[in-house]
Every structure is written in C-alpha cells, then in structure tokens.
Amino acid sequence: MKAEIITIGDELLIGQTVDTNSAWIGQELSSLGFDIHRRTSVHDKREEIIGILSDSSSRSDVVIITGGLGPTSDDITKKTLCEFFNTRLVMNLHVLEMVESMMQRRGFPMNENNRKQAEVPESCKVLTNAAGTAPGMWFEKNGKVFISMPGVPSEMKYIMREHVLPELAKRYTSQVIIHKNIMTYGTPEARLAEILTGFEAGLPGCIKLAYLPSSGIIKLRLTATGSRRDELLPIIAVQVRKLYETIPEYIYGEDEETLEMAVGRLLRDKNLTLCTAESCTGGNISHKITSVPGSSDYFRGSVVAYSNDIKTSVLGVDPLLIQRDGAVSESVAVAMAEGARKLMKTDFAVATTGIAGPSGGTDLKPVGTLWVAVSHGLGTIAEKHTFTTDRVTNITRFTFVALNLLRKQIISA
C-alpha cells in the first residue's frame, strides 16, 4: 500500500520550523508495511493545498496531512478541506466540550477563535485530541483515505497513536516491514562499507542494508520485507549476529541508542561513577550524559575549564605543562582528566582540550585539533584527533570522540 505525507505551513518552507513530523510519521507507517513514496511541504495557500491533494489522490492509498489547523486566520486547512471534499464546516459539540474543558483547566478564557476549533468538515470522522484543542479528521474519497492532523508534534503523535495507527493496522492487509538499527562509531562510512562488502553480498533477498551517517555515527539499518513477521524476525536476527561477528569494535548499541546512553548503561551495570573536565566542548559532554534519565546514578559533576586559570586552580594542572606544551596537548588533557577524577572522587573522568574554531589554529595545531583523555583506576589514556574548521561540527565530533573513548575504556576496565 502506498502512503504519502503532506506538511502545510510557510514556516516549514522558509526554515523557521524544522519538519520532524514527517520523519516520525514515516517511521510509524513503514512499521505497518506502507510504502512511503513521497513527502511534500506546501504553502498555507488554498490553491497549493488543493493541488497537492488532487495529485496525491491519484497516486496514494493513504495521505497524511499535518498543519494549518490552528485558531488563527492564517490557518486555512479546514476550509480548504471542505472545498476539496465538497462539504461544509459544522460545530461538533463533543469537540467544543473538550476545548472548553481544556481552556478551563489551563486557566484561559474561551474566545471565538477557540470555539472555531470545534468546527469540523461535516463529512469527516472526527479524531479527538486530548493533547490539544484541534481535532484530527479522517476523510475518504474514491477509495482513498485522507487524514488531517495538527502540526504540533505532541498533538499529532497522540492522534496517530490513539486513532490513526490502530485503524490503519486493522483496515489494510499489507506487507510486513521490519527495521533493525545497529549503531556504530569509529570508522568512516566508506571504510565501513568496504569491511561489510562480504556481509552485504551474503544478505538474503528479503533484507536490505542502508548506511545512515551523522557526525561520525553510522546507523546500519537492516530492513526485512515479507508477508509474515514471525518468519522475518529470525532471519534478521541471524544478520544482526553476523554484524556483531564482523565489526564488534565499531558497534556500540542497537535501535536508537546514543553514545551517551551506551556509556550510562555500562556505568550503571558496573556500578561505576563518572565526571568530566571540558575545555573545547564547553560542557557539551556533561549535557549529553545528563540528558539520559537516571544519569544521577553514575554522574557526579563537571568542570568547564575554558580558561587556563581554571585548568590550574581547580583541576590542578601544572602551569609548567601549559607553558611547555600548550593548553591543547596530550599532557594537559591527561592532567585535566586526572585532576577531575581526584577532585570529584569518581571511577572515571573524561577530559577534552582543543581548538573548535573558526580561529585560534596554528600550523602545528590547526583548527579542529582535539586531545581527549580518559582516566580511571588502571591509568590514563589519551588520543589526538583532527576534524574540520566549522565550530559547531567540531564540538559535536569532539563530544562523540570523547564518549566513545570513554565507552571503550569502561568496557576494558
């Protein structure tokens, strides 16, 4: 079955809002076996919306629409849907009651714009929205299904989970698609593809492999397609096992696990504690670590030692090391990690010092240079890396390098 996704809103086209809805909807529909063959963003203009709806009705079985259902004058999707489906807006008393109740709970006065959100096209099936005020709407025309939902991600997801996905699963007998992600770090995409040449050649016909790189992390997505889930699961499990046998040094997790989640899992499993000492990453490592729920079980704290004074006075780095080797050096990275570990009395400490850019580099130490060190009871290890001239990219890559080195040291401890 073919599905497509339409997002409505000028803010999406001009980059003021990033469209995360399409990615989430695509994943959910794909898990039901739909072939997602098109994603489109259009203006908040009647003729644009009518045009894309007409086009989509000729090529797709299910069309998912988000956006343009708010209470303000620029939200024209409902009126345009009425025109396309040859119907009219009517007041839905159940939706009105829900809107009034929500406004009362939030302590806001009910006004005419709020009332208008309870108006829905007469021919649609209303999909109630307990996460917001704008309901979803289910239309059918010439055997095709059109589903319109608010653009607010939390509201869209509520309607999808409560109404849309269960109904689509019941209504359509489609092929089974199973995705399995293996998360890797530590080698470039081209090199990883070279290593996996034999693995790819040996894949059964029902499984495809995709490489999805982002800032050094490469997600290997195995996609199995067939008619029966119980037959596909053991087949894909065999291929996952082969990946672990082929590239064990690069795999850090599965599905959507991040490096910081993997580090936290290892620390918790081994009942170990961690602190950080950051210069060039400016607290980004500790931010990543503490973004994981339950990180207080193993994370003690961080020193953002951006200036050399803090490196020496707080972390105890010998000023002579900075004088002799420079702040961006192996000796200083090691001293920062060891000083932090001593200061916060943890099992592990990770430290970074480098040149994020865009300025500050030299011939010997160009922009993008990083020294990262991990200290623990068995000693301290340090590595040097060189990345790009872009500051934001460098801070991200510096952070991932540090987390991965930390992960490997925890495993070997």
Which residue, 232, 254, 276, sits at the end of a domain?
Answer: 254
Model pTM score: 0.76
How many angstroms from the chain centroid is the CA of residue 2?
A: 25
* Same domain? 239 vs 152: no
What are 69's two structure tokens? 């259902």
pLDDT at 173: 62
* Same domain? 200 vs 292: no
* Same domain? 205 vs 135: no
Average model confidence (pLDDT) for the chain?
93
Distance in angstroms (rounded) separating the CA atoms of residues 127 and 121 = 12
* Same domain? 246 vs 265: no
Distance in angstroms (rounded) separating the CA atoms of residues 180 and 30 = 12
* Same domain? 62 vs 146: yes
What value does the mean pLDDT take over residues 259-268? 98
Beta strand pairing call for 274-278 and 251-254: unpaired
Distance in angstroms (rounded) separating the CA atoms of residues 138 and 125 = 5
Q: Which of 302, 377, 16 is nearest to 310 (CA)?
A: 302
Q: What's 332's domain CATH number?
A: 3.90.950.20
Residue with tokens 């006075």: 313
* Same domain? 207 vs 336: no
pLDDT at 376: 97
What are 156's two structure tokens? 């869209």
Distance in angstroms (rounded) separating the CA atoms of residues 324 and 332 = 10
* Structure confidence by residue, pLDDT tens digits, 293-334: 999 999 999 999 999 999 999 999 999 999 999 999 999 999
* Same domain? 243 vs 317: no
Q: Which domain holds residue 100?
A: 2-171
* Same domain? 138 vs 89: yes
* 135, 152 Cβ separation under 8 angstroms: no
Query: What is the radius of gyration, based on Cα positions, of the chain?
Result: 27
* Structure confidence by residue, pLDDT tens digits, 239-257: 999 999 999 999 999 998 9
User: Which phi-psi region, left, alpha or beta, contains residue 165 (left: φ > 0; alpha: ψ -120 to 50)?
Assistant: alpha
* Same domain? 121 vs 245: no
* Structure confidence by residue, pLDDT tens digits, 12-40: 998 888 899 999 999 899 888 888 999 99
* Same domain? 157 vs 194: no
* Same domain? 184 vs 241: yes
* Same domain? 278 vs 395: yes
Q: What's 232's domain CATH number?
A: 3.30.70.2860
